[in-house]
Every structure is written in structure tokens, then in C-alpha cells.
Structure 1
Amino acid sequence: MLNELNLYSRARRWEVRWNSISNARRWAVLEILIIVLLALVPLFTAFPYRVNIFLSWEGAYRLSSGQVPFKDYGSPLGYGFWIIPALFFKLFGPQMITLVKAQVFINIIAGLSFRSILKSLGVTPGVRLLSVLVFVMSYSFFNFWPWYNHTVIVYELVAISFLLRSFFAGGDIGRYGFMVLAALFVFLSLFTKQDGGGMALMLCLALLAYNSLETRRWLDIPVFLGMFAVIAVLFIAPLMPGFAYWFNHGQAPHSSRLALNDFTDEIMGASNWIKIYVLLVALCLTAGVKQWKTWIHERREVLFALLTLGILGEAAIFQVTSYTPPDNNIFFHSFAFAFIASWLCRLLSIPLNTGSSITFATALILFWWSGTWWKYIGRYTDRLFPVKEAVYAPNDSTHENVVSRRNYMLNNDTTDVPMSQWTFSKLPVFHKIYMPAQTVAGIDRVLALPVVQQKRDSIRVLNMTELTPLAEAMPFKLETGADYPLWYHLGVGMFNRQLAAFKEKVRAHHYDVVLFEYAPTLNNFFPFALRDELKQRYQLVDSFLAPRRPTNAMIEVYVPQTEQRSYTDALIQKSDTLK
């Protein structure tokens, strides 16, 4: 009875507090709660080792260790992507799970920036709340790991939010202060990835051009470009001359890897969501704008339309320039929804200011984006309602061959390891990260190598695998140099000059241990030519599955011939001990 009274008393106090909050603040609280609470979900779960996450880890590890990009290592990208993960490594340590914590922060910043953009554009609270929900469900909720194709857009959102604040700020100090911040984050977007960052710059200039035309503030564009140039010089000048070689702006040995047909095929042959949204935006404007000569001077209205169409155009290009993974460009859904919902509510007089209307609309949005959250609930429904499949026995006439959507294709891949069979490593750097059991056992064998045990402080390792955290687990000192690549994808992260240097080191037996990931279905993801060199100059002493799904790549362990004999002797001694 007392517990019930206490619960009732607490609930009553919360109700009184909630009623005391102004209506505007209630909307703000709800929006921020959606952004923050859904962003925090990843902190309460474990994760499988993710494909390509090795690059996020090593870049952050090198930066947090004090290494200077383009002097201690080279990359075709700027280091904007690694700034936040590196800061989190400093705060929480270089465990892989720290990357998840960094992404939680990035997702919160992304959501708050999107909300700020809608506020600056005067979007009504009800539509703004639903748009924030669409943004989180469609773009943030399932992004547990930091990746540059996501971070580049987050920096862009921050830049646009500051730029719009500058348009409506009172006084030159506030206006130019926000503009400096906008220029900084546009540069960080470009310094994260060239395609998304370049389009962010062009979109900001388009918004600036219209705003300058309407307000007659002709200095805004040159001031913004001047601020951008100064920031760029401050970042880039200390990184020369290596920056000029590594940062890809189309110069040799880099290539654009783009063709006109790539754009036309993707945009005209696919991109259905983008084209539908463009059509709906056009219909809204056609139905809602009565006097175009008058409407063109409605700054917030026109900026909203320009931004929405600009984001849709950017998404159409981004899906071609950043083609993996295939859902990089889905940031456009929330902008299109916000614009279309705003106009429909106005044209159709739909009230979105009551609890019942918001609840109903929220249910529809959750149904629309059920794919992002149902997979978590689906794990439990699969257990509650297991599928009963009849087993086909060719020699048993009492059983029929049952074919359904779950088994109509035969899986002949004997190398695949279901994720249900993955397990955890005891190493702190892999805390809360599970991998194939063969990978975990292989890591343990690498750490038990005699050469690793004997040369703890001076071991020289070349780690051309996705297991970059071994640098911390073993540990070994990462190689550095202005010509040393951050990652080893031939033609992307490194080039023939670096390949020739690695070949020379292998021929000279420079390394005590070489870990090489052989992924035959990936085009020189780790250079095949170096593997050929290793087979001639080193001895293969072990191999095990790489931590990817499907498990179609192997990690090979090479040591010099003298070390191979020590390794063999150690195995014989261990076998005798077991006997």
C-alpha cells in the first residue's frame, strides 16, 4: 500500500512539473528526448565485429596517440572523420566499444542540428516533432558505428544549422559569429569526405546567394568564403607537403572513379524515393503558392524549398559517389517529410497540435520505419513462434519436400559461420564485441607465437587485416612515415609506390610477423601482389577466419623461416605436454 502511494505521489509531482512547463518548452523536451534516448540505445548491447570498422579504429588510434596525419601516415581523406572517435579514445580508452560511444555522441549532435534547422525555418512544433522522429528512425537509430559517409553529412547538418542561425541573427557580431562556425563545419565536412563536403559547400553557397539577394547583404558570400579559406589554410598548411600527394582532388595517382553513365543509370533507372519526393514537393508548391512574385520574397519559405531540393539533389549524387554501403544517402527522407508535411498540414488544415493527432501520426511513422526497430523485436517473436520445417528425406516416402520463402534457395557456402555461433574474446580491446570462434582462437594463437612472446617491446609487425586493434592487444608499435598508408586498399588507400616499398621490406625480412587478410572476392582490398611476395619470402604458419559476414576471407600468419622453426618446435612441445 505504501509503495502504491509513493508511486502515485511521484507521478503526481511529475504531472505538476510537466503542466508548469510552457507549451513551447514541452515540444522541445519531447524532441530532445527522442533524439537522446534513441541515441543511447547502443550503450546497452553488444555488437558483432563490423566489416570495415578497422579503418575507424586505426585512424582514431593513431590520432589519439599523437600522430600527425600526412606526416606520420597518409590518407586520401582528411582527418575530420577521426576527430570525435580520437577524442573518445582519449577519454575512454582505445577499446572498440568506444567507437560506439563516439557514434552515440555523433547521433545526438546530428539530431539536435536537424532540429535547429527546422526551428530556423519556422516549422510548426507538431511537424517538427514528427520530422525529428523520422530523422532518428531513418538515419540515426541504426548507425551504431562511426563511418565517414555518415559523419560527412553530420558535419554538413551542423554547418547548415549555424548558417541559418546567421541569416536570422540580430546584429553583425552574432551573424558573423554563426557564419564562422558554419564555415568551420563545412570545411570539416569537406575534410571528412570530398564528395559530401563539396556538395555541402555548394548548398551553403546557394542558400547564401538567395539570402544575400533578399537582404542586400552582399558581403556575406565573400566573407563566408574568406572565413572558409582561412580555416582551410590553418588546417592544411601544417600538413604539407604530404597532404598534396595523399588528399584526393583528382591528381595522380588518384582517380575520380566516376563516369557520367553511373549518374544517369542510378538516377534515371532507380532513385524512386528521391523522384517521388521531388514530385510531391513540386505539387505542394504548385498547389500552395498563389502569387509567385510575392512568395519568392518569403525568406523562410524559399530557403526551406531550396534546402529540401538541394538535399534531394545531393542524395541523388551521393548514392553514386559513395556507393557502399547502399543506404548512405537516406538523410533526405527527413527533409522531404518535413517540407511535404508542413505544406499538407497547411493546405488540408490538418491539426498537429493535440495529443491524439500526434499519437496517431507517430504510430504511422513507426509503422513506416518499422524495419529499423522490428529486427530487435523479431528476435523474440522468432522464439515465441518458431517455424516448423519438414525435413526432406529422399529415401523416406512419408516426408514431402517442403519449399517455402525460407528455404527455396540452397546455401552451399560451407565457409559461412552463422552469427549465433560467434563468441567473445577475453582481450579488453574487444570488450562487448563478438566474432567467429575461429577468429577468436586465431587471435589467441597469434599472441602465443614465440616471436611475439620473445620480442614484446621490439617486435615488428605488418598487420594487413581487419583486426587493427591487435596493435593495442599485442601490443606493437605502428609504423609511421609520410609515405605510409593508413589502410591498404590498392588504388584507394595506397598506390604502387607504397606497394613497392612493402615488397622491399618483405624481401629484406624486415617484419617479425606479417598478418595478411586474403579476401579473394574483393579487388585488392589487401594487395594480392604482396601476398605473392610473402609466399616466396616468408613461411605461412597459421590461418583463420576473418571477422566478417559472410566469412569469405582468411587471415594468414607469416613469419621468417627461422621463426617458423621456432613456431613448429613450440607446437611440438605443446603437443608433448598435452600427451
Structure 2
Amino acid sequence: MTTLGRSTRIVSYAEFLLIIVFALLPLFGSYPFRINIFLSWDGAYRMSHGQIPFKDFGMPLGFGYWIIPAFFMKIFGPAMITLVKAQSFINIISGFAFLSILKSFRIPPYSRILVLLVYIVSYSMLNFWPWYNNTVIIYEIIGLAFLFKYLLPKDGAEPKNYWLILAAVFTFLSFFTKQDGGGLALMLCIALLIYHCILHKKVKPLLIFIASYAVFAGIIIIPLLKYGFGYWFNHGQPPHSTRLSLYDLFNRVFAKSEDIKFYVLLCVLLLIPYFKSGVSFLRNERLMLFALLTFGILTEAAIFQFTSYVPANNNIFFHAFAFAFILMLLNEKDILLINNGKQFVLALAAVLLWWSAAFWKYIDPKIQRAFPPSTATISPTGENIINEHTYRLNADTFNYKKYQSGWTFSSVPVFRKISMPASTVEGIDRLMHNPEILSKIPNNRILNMTELTPLSYAMGFGTERGSEYPLWYHLGVGMYNKQKDMYCNKIAQHYYDVVLYEYIPNLNNFYPFAVRDALRANYQLIDSFDAPRLPPALGTIEVYVKPSH
């Protein structure tokens, strides 16, 4: 075997290990209860038990987000840690899909492993819980991987139409996970196909893709129309409110987005020499497709950070794509050719330094113990000390680490390996052993309007089913005034025996405040405890029972 062949095989093994090891590492940890993860659990649990989205519960999204977690719950059970297992699988699939894209563009082996590492440490590794703002991008990457199998076949082979069909299926799943990212994914795929069709003077690939997308969408959506799908699914109609604001978009892009704009600058500078060749540049299919992909992903990231603003790092999938394109341009112009082990080690060290923040949080406590920072405000000689840790005096500053260190684990199996505030754990124990509440469970008149959605499984009470019931209760996002009024009327009529309500005063109707007002007027508060949240959005879980008279 030649030296090049041996190096290529070693790189292939390394790529495989990188994807698998980093994806499986989260399985060996335990985790604090994460805000909003209740939604991942509840949708997956309901689907794994045969509930049908839009028929048994409504939501403003498609159900692509819950397909894999529901499948894993079916296999491993409904413990919250099952969600981590599902995300590990998602990360494995996404890693190999991204690697497939790199291979389609024939990125050299050493450069390819560097780009893959950037993808893992900048994006994939950060996602160890399933979340729709991540899943929508993963489906897109899988769809793009299949699309490039068609657009850039190996060794000039005749492209197979089934790649287009698979690309369309996963691009639709992206849209049916979240409309903003999925819609942008569709536009990117169409742009790539339009260029391909113009270059090759044939429209058939574009038609196959669009037809496949439409047929698969019809198969999924048409059976749901009779369940109020048009009311729930957010395509810009009332009662949904638009998040599109040109000012907010311009403000995000021009006042912030430094990384995105820097990549655009580098890509444009490196492409300038190609512009001189005019038509020959436009006919360079591999280069043009990669340019369209990169600028499309950067554009998507700029928009996605505005339409999907929580959490703040939703859009960082762009780093690896831009880095790959920049490396390819440097290789094409013989500016940077990484073709031996020494060069690779040097480049690897630079990449690890670039993304050291991904690892620093794990070694930070050890470094801090070895070299403790100075937090003293008065020196031994009595002088006032001013440094990074002492320049600000704020008595209201909340110590996050101290607060989180007070978290503990519940003995309830569904919360295995998930830590929560001690008050939350104690409150769950009181709920689980409260005879007044336990006696109500067989009647199924319990409303759980909190983040502790696994309590329905742990305590054995069901959830209300029907197209009029929302999956989650964020007013203006997951439910609307129609549902808010429905719950308030039921509470006024003492329909529920027990209501669990989560009060988060500084979030805008994360759970409708009007429901709490109705509870305070018509029900008896018998208990309260901390919600499993970190500041600044702390909350309280309140336990209400129907008056005895």
C-alpha cells in the first residue's frame, strides 16, 4: 500500500472515531434539568404511546423533531436520559452526513478531518439534548448530503434519481421540524438544483426534487387536515404572529454577526482571482456549488439567529461549512496544502486553540484550583484592589455556580441522572406521596401546566387528548387565546381536581398568567416549590386542588 493510501485509511479511521466517540461521550454523564427540555420529553412520550400529533394535541410545528426521540423511548423507556441517547444517535447521523458532503466536494483527507473536527466541537458536541432548532439543521444536512450525491457523483458516474428523492424527503422533514430553517433549507436546495439544471441544460432533476417533496408532504399533511392542522401549523395566519421584522434582521446582521461577516469577507477575497476568468468560473461546477452552499448557509445562519433566537447559539452550524470552503480555496490556489503529518499536527493544534472554549469548561475547575483568581478587595497593606473580579460592586449579583451546586437527584426513575434544585426534588416527593392528590389520579382530572411533564408517567395520570389541546402552554407560541380561555373556563367550573401550575414572573406568559389568576380565584393552593430553573428566569411550581365545598 502506498504512503498516500495508508494516510487516507488512517484519516478514515480517525473520522469514524471522531464522530462515534464525541457522540457517545454524553451517555456517560449526568445533567442538570435543562429549561424547555420538558417539550422534547412530552412530545416524544406521547408519540411513543400512540398519540397522533394534531389529532391528540396541537402544536405550531411539524412532528419531525420528535420522530427519533419517540423511537428511542419505545426502545429504552421514557426516562429523561433517553433523550440524551436519542441525541447521541442524531449526532452520529449528522456527523456522517456532514462527512459525506465533504467527500462529495473531494476535500483532501487531512483538511477533511480538520473540518470535521470543527463541525463536532463548534456545533455537534454542544447538542446533547434533542431540540427542534438543532434537529431542523440536522435534517437539512442529511438532505444536502443526498443532494450532493446526485450533483457530484463519484468518478463522473451517472447520477441516480433516488438521491434526489431522498434529498427531498429529508428537506421536507427539516421543514416539518421547524418552518424557518426548513424553508431556508428548501430554498438552498432549489438554488443548487437551478444552477445544476442551467449548467447541464436539463430541468428534470429540479422537477424530480420538487415533485418528490410535494408528494411526501402530501402523504404526511393531507391526513392531518381534518384535525385542525391549518389552525395549529404556523404558516403566517392568525392567531400566529409573525417574527419577521426587517429592522430586527438588519440590526442583527449589521450590529452583530461578526463571525458570519468575517467569513463572507474571507470567501469573497479568496474568490476574487476566480472572477477574472468570467464564464469559466461559472462553469466550474464543483467550485460554484460549494460557493452557493457556503453563502447559502451563511445567509441562513444570519436569518436563523433572528427567527430562532433562543438559545443564542442556534445558528453556529455555519462555522464548519465556511471553514471547509476557505480551506478548499486555499488548496486550489496552492496557498495551503496540508499533505503530511507534521503540517496536520500544526494545523490541528491551531484548530484546537481556535475552539478551546469547547474544552475549557471541563478543565477550568482544575486550572482554577491550581491558579486561583484574586477576588480580594483589600490588599495586605490596606489598599483597595481593582481587577476583573472586583471592579464591580453589586449586592444583587446571583452566584450561578453556588446555586447550581445545591442541585441534587430525585429517586423517581424517570428523572434518573437528572439533577434539580433540592426544593424541586422535595416538592416532587411530596406530590408523589400526597394522599389527597393520589386519590384523584384515577379520575384523570389533573392538569400539569409545568415543566415537569414526566410527572404524568411517574404518577400515572393521563393527559387530555384532542385537537383543541396544546402540547405546550406558552401563550402566543404553543397556544393562543382560544386555549387560554378554554382552560380558564374549565377552572372556573372546577373541572380539574388538581392543577400544577408554574409561575415564571419575568417570562412573557410562558405559562398564561390568566390561568394563574383563575386558579387563585377558584382553587386552593396547598403547596409550592422551586421550578428546575436557573436565574434570571426562576419560577415556582404551585399545587392547586379543587375546593372541598
Using the size of structure 2 for normalisation, the TM-score is 0.95
Q: Which residue matches 2:445?
A: 460
Conserved? CA contact 2:327–2:336, under 8 Å: no
Q: Which residue of 1 aligns with 2:20?
A: 36
* 2:117 pairs with 1:133: yes
CA displacement 1:226-256 (0-9 Å, x = unmatched): 1111000100111113211100001111111
Q: 1:233 to 1:373 in 2, by over 3 A?
A: same
**Residues paired across the two proteins, number:** 544
Matches within 5 A, 1:158-307: 158-169=142-153, 175-241=160-226, 242-288=228-274, 290-307=276-293
Which runs of 5 or more residues in structure 1 are unaligned?
1-16, 564-579
1:357 aligns with 2:343: yes
Q: CA deviation at 1:459?
A: 3.9
Q: 1:292 & 1:211 partners in 2: Cα distance?
A: 18
1:384-407: CA deviation from partner (whole Å, max 9, x where unpaired): 3334543779xxx98665454234
Which of these residues, 63, 66, 87, is aligned with residue 82 of structure 1? 66
Give the partner amino acid of 1:278.
V
Partner AA of 2:422 in structure 1: A
Q: Which of 481, 502, 509 is the aligned partner of 1:496?
A: 481
Partner amino acid for 1:82?
A: W
Mapped partners of 1:264, 1:47: distance in 2 = 37
Return the offset for 1:326.
1.0
- Equivalent residues of 2:79, 2:415 under 8 A apart: yes
What residue in structure 2 maps to residue 558 of structure 1?
Answer: 544
**Structure-1 separation of matches of 2:374 and 2:242:** 51
Match of 1:575 in 2: none
The reply on whether 1:72 has 2:56 as its aligned counterpart is yes
TM-fit CA distance, 1:31? 1.4
Change (3 A) 1:180 1:411: farther
Aligned-residue sequence identity (percent) comes to 51
1:382, CA displacement in angstroms? 2.3
CA distance in 2, matches of 1:55, 1:426: 22
Q: Matches of 2:5 and 2:275 in 1, distance apart?
A: 36
Question: Aligned to 2:517, which of 532, 545, 556?
Answer: 532
Cα distance between partner residues in 2 of 1:410 and 1:46? 33
After superposition, the C-alpha distances for 1:459-514 in whole angstroms (9 at most, x for unaligned) are: 42111111111111112101111110000000110011111111121112121211
Deviations 1:348-390 (A, max 9, x none): 4433121111111111111101111110111222233334543
Residue 392 of structure 1 contacts residue 400 of structure 1 at CA under 8 Å; is this kept in 2?
yes
Secondary structure at the aligned position of 2:40 is classed as helix
Whole-Å Cα distance in 2 between the matches of residues 305 and 172 of structure 1? 23
What residue in structure 2 maps to residue 566 of structure 1? none
Distance, in Å, in 1 between the alignment partners of 2:479 and 2:157 is: 46
Deviation sequence 1:288-344 (CA, Å, 0-9, x none): 555121121111111001100111111111111111111111111101101111212
Aligned partner of 2:129 among 145, 153, 156: 145
Q: Is the 8 A contact 2:104 2:153 kept in 1?
A: no
State the one-letter code of the partner of 1:317: I
Question: What is the rounded CA distance, in whole Å, between the counterparts of 1:98 and 1:121 in structure 2?
Answer: 35
1:2-151 matches, cutoff 5 A = 22-151=6-135
Letter in 2 for 1:72: D
Q: What CA RMSD, in Å, does the superposition of the two structures yield over aligned residues?
A: 2.3
**Does the C-alpha gap of structure 1 residues 66 and 290 become closer, same or farther in structure 2, counting only changes over 3 Å?**
same
Q: Which amino acid aligns with 1:496?
A: N
- Counterpart secondary structure, 1:561: coil
- 8 Å Cα contact 1:464/1:517 also seen in 2: yes
Q: What corresponds to 1:405 in structure 2?
A: 388
Letter in 1 for 2:225: M
Distance 2:105 2:4 in 1: 27
Query: Is the 1:288–1:343 Cα contact (8 Å) retained in structure 2?
Result: no
Distance 1:554 1:347 in 2: 60
2:365 alignment counterpart: 379
Structure with max Cα Rg:
1
**SS of structure 1 residue aligned to 2:526:** strand
SS at match of 1:562: coil
Structure 1's 72 and 420: CA in aligned 2 closer, same or farther, altered over 3 A?
Answer: same
Please, which of 320, 343, 358 is the counterpart of residue 306 of structure 2?
A: 320
- CA apart distance, 1:162: 0.2
* Counterpart Cα distance in 1 of 2:376 and 2:296: 53
Code of the aligned partner of 2:371? F
Tell me the equivalent position of 1:434: 419
CA contact (8 A) 1:113 1:161 kept: yes
One-letter code of the match for 1:124? Answer: P
User: For residues 331 and 137 of structure 2, what CA distance do their matches in structure 1 show?
Assistant: 28
- Maintained 8 Å contact 1:390/1:400: no
User: Which residue number corresponds to residue 9 of structure 1?
Assistant: none
Asked if 1 retains the 8 angstrom alpha-carbon contact of 2:152 and 2:286, the reply is: no
Q: Letter of the aligned partner of 1:237 in structure 2?
A: I
Deviations 1:67-103 (A, max 9, x none): 0000000000000000011011111111111111111
- Matching residue's letter, 2:149: R
Specify whether residues 173 and 119 from structure 1 end up closer, same or farther in structure 2 by C-alpha distance, changes over 3 A only: closer
**Structure 2 match to 1:311:** 297
Equivalent residue for 1:576?
Answer: none
CA distance in 2, matches of 1:256, 1:326: 19
Query: Quick check: 1:415–1:552 contact (8 Å CA) kept in 2?
Result: no
Cα contact 2:440–2:498 (8 A) shared by 1: no
Offset at residue 212 of structure 1 (A): 1.1
Q: Which amino acid aligns with 1:65?
A: H
Distance in 1, matches of 2:375 and 2:335, equals 52
Write the distance in 2 (CA, Å) between the matches of 1:29 and 1:120.
Answer: 18
- Give the letter aligned to residue 350 of structure 2: L
| Greater mean deviation of Cα atoms: 407-416 or 544-553 | 407-416
Aligned to 1:445: 430
1:326 match: secondary structure: coil
CA contact (8 A) 1:80 1:192 kept: yes
Code of the residue aligned with 1:62 in structure 2: it is R
1:391/1:559 Cα in 2 relative to 1: closer, same or farther (>3 Å)?
A: farther
Q: 1:419 aligns with which of 404, 415, 425?
A: 404
Contact 1:167–1:175 under 8 Å retained in 2 = no
Q: Output one character per residue of 1:136-165: Cα deviation in whole Å (capped at 9) or x when no partner.
A: 010011211111001100000000010110
More divergent stretch after superposition (120-129 vs 66-75): 120-129
Structure 2 counterpart of 1:8:
none
Q: Measure, in 2, the Cα distance between the counterparts of 1:281 and 1:173.
A: 31
